[in-house]
Chain A
Amino acid sequence: MLIKQLYNMFTSNTKEDLAQMLAEIGVKSFDELLPVPQVLLKGNINLPSALNEQELTAEVKKIAAKNKPLVNFAGGGMQEHFVPAAVNALSTRGEFLTAYTPYQAEASQGTLQAIYEYQSCICALFDMDISNASHYDGATALAEACLAATHLKNNKTILYTKALQPNYAEVLKTYFKNAEVKLKEVPLNTDGTTDLKQLETLLKNGAAAFILQTPNYFGCLESAEEISSLVHTNNALLIANVNPTSLGILQTPGSYDADFAVAEGQGLGNALNYGGPTLGIFTCKKQFVRNMSGRLCGMAKDKDGKRAFVLTLQAREQHIRRERASSNICSNQALCALNATIYLTLLGPEGLKEVALKNLENAHYLQTELCKYDGFALKYKAPFYNEFVVTTKVPAAKLIKAAAKKGFLAGIALAKNELLLCSTEVNTKTQIDALVNVLKEVK
């Protein structure tokens, strides 16, 4: 019978195996073995008939065909970057893909060394002392940094720039709703950057930390050094949320003395996937290592003195500290972190710099070309990297709709007449010109 063959794909005991096993266990039937009250056993769940692999493949391809990807000019927290073929070819090897968390270190040296190399690459890129093995995404990494800051400063107020990615602010609100953490927004100047005067006033009222984002949600680069000294003078901690690819050319969180730096790391070797899986990069200064949550891998020696890798500082974590742990997290985005590690290793310092420069070049080309036309103007004066806001005469939603018809995702509508655009190294000059042509024609 077809169905029988199907579910044998997942259970490989034969009828004879099962009979023998039940006999060894000393029961006559499975029902006799099952310690579940009869009242709870209600018969089969009504699911549609099962698909075989060919049918499944056809079905899922049909569903996939309903997706209509567009040429990307949208950022806002997720950016499309080119992923070299070697990244997935290596990370989807069964040895990486189907391994569990490396608790048995001697049988997991591959995963462990890769995590150590991930931590090292991220520290090098961010100029920070410590990186953990990763969090769920940028927003949750930020939430964990805020928790650490409130404990360190024994103060429950967190300030954040109004130019923080709005979904991040929402995640923070969700995380802290019951934790008595007060979130206060710091307004912006007209040039799109954080208002330092307002920041100073709020800092003087007392705060554990300020969350800076640079490039910020509107693409603007913040004066990180000035902000850092202002924050530190007022005895608060600086948490920086950054774009990791931008660090190929932009100043590093370490260089402006950030205490914690977090990021969405998807852009390093991971596809967009409609928003996930993601990679929460989490870094901090050395002195905060015991206050940070999440997994860490350390270099060690085996009993012959040979180099080995092992998960370390685990006594901070939930399986030991239970309700006193700094977080309940007990996983990392190991595969996404592996993708990032392979990506950074493949590109090297020069390759990464080239990618960052190409982003800078493409975004500025797009902005210059588009703003040549009436009805489009750069909204903020502050310098930008690969995202920027334009004010539009035609409503932004209408522009996006028109561009979608021609095969382009023309950014994100921030307000009725404001468009957040992004261009990365994946866009060609031809595509940029074509997008400008489409947008300028919309009336």
Chain B
Amino acid sequence: MYNQENCKFAATHEWAYIENGVATVGISDHAQHEISDIVFVELPKVGTKVEQGKSCCVIESVKSASDIYAPVSGEIIEVNQAAADNPSIVNQAPHGDGWLFKIKISNQDEVKNLLSFDAYKATL
């Protein structure tokens, strides 16, 4: 499945695992740590068109509300209801069961705007 090495990253702390024109998206381990205990995940609706770099959902902790930005443009084709039902899994497994949504990529060229794990790590 997805791990830090086989994912691409946005500087805004989202990761994307890209396979067959679909990006599976979550937040980085660094991000979940910074947000700390996540209490609420507001997922986008399936069918929503999203744009690279634009906010598409929100994650809340007790004292914060953080925008999650779409790492690539496209259409939301699936969301992880388990993350909405039990937000703590985003803390526990940000790269696994705590994924957030899948985007059908509309512009493959945008992928090259994303960072490798090492390049992302260097930004922290």
Whether A and B touch (Cβ < 8 Å) is answered with yes
Interface range, B side: under 10
B112 at interface, CB cutoff 8 A: no
B40 at interface, CB cutoff 8 A: yes
Interface residues of B in 61-82 (CB under 8 A from A): 61-65
A34 at interface, CB cutoff 8 A: no
A315 at interface, CB cutoff 8 A: yes
Which A-chain residue is minimally distant from B39 (CB atoms)? A315
- Does B42 contact A290, Cβ atoms closer than 8 Å? yes
- Does A314 contact B62, Cβ atoms closer than 8 Å? yes
CA distance A314 to B65 in the complex (A): 9
Interface range, A side: under 10
B51 at interface, CB cutoff 8 A: no
CA distance A362 to B75 in the complex (A): 62
Chain A CB within 10 Å, residue with most, of B60, B61, B63: B60
CA distance A321 to B61 in the complex (A): 12
CA distance A414 to B40 in the complex (A): 49
CA distance A328 to B119 in the complex (A): 40
- Does B40 contact A290, Cβ atoms closer than 8 Å? yes
CA distance A314 to B62 in the complex (A): 7
Interface residues of A in 239-280 (CB under 8 A from B): none
Interface residues of A in 311-348 (CB under 8 A from B): 313-316, 320-321, 324
User: Could you say which residues of chain A place their CB within 8 Å of the CB of B64?
Assistant: 315, 320
User: Could you say which residues of chain A place their CB within 8 Å of the CB of B62?
Assistant: 314-315
Interface residues of B in 1-42 (CB under 8 A from A): 39-40, 42
CA distance A324 to B63 in the complex (A): 15
User: Could you say which residues of chain A place their CB within 8 Å of the CB of B39?
Assistant: 315
User: Could you say which residues of chain A place their CB within 8 Å of the CB of B61?
Assistant: 315
CA distance A55 to B40 in the complex (A): 57
Min CB–CB distance B34 → chain A (angstroms): 15
Among candidates A290, A316, A320, residue contacting B63 with C-beta atoms closer than 8 Å: A320
User: Could you say which residues of chain B place their CB within 8 Å of the CB of A313?
Assistant: 40
CA distance A252 to B40 in the complex (A): 31
Which B-chain residue is minimally distant from A312 (CB atoms)? B62
CA distance A320 to B64 in the complex (A): 6
Interface residues of A (CB under 8 A from B): 290, 313-316, 320-321, 324
Which 5 residue pairs across A and B have the least CB separation, nearest first?
A: A315-B60, A315-B65, A321-B65, A320-B65, A320-B64
19 A-B residue pairs with CB within 8 Å: A290-B40, A290-B42, A313-B40, A314-B62, A314-B63, A315-B39, A315-B40, A315-B60, A315-B61, A315-B62, A315-B63, A315-B64, A315-B65, A316-B65, A320-B63, A320-B64, A320-B65, A321-B65, A324-B65
A313-B40, A315-B39, A315-B61 known; 16 other A-B pairs, CB under 8 Å?
A: A290-B40, A290-B42, A314-B62, A314-B63, A315-B40, A315-B60, A315-B62, A315-B63, A315-B64, A315-B65, A316-B65, A320-B63, A320-B64, A320-B65, A321-B65, A324-B65
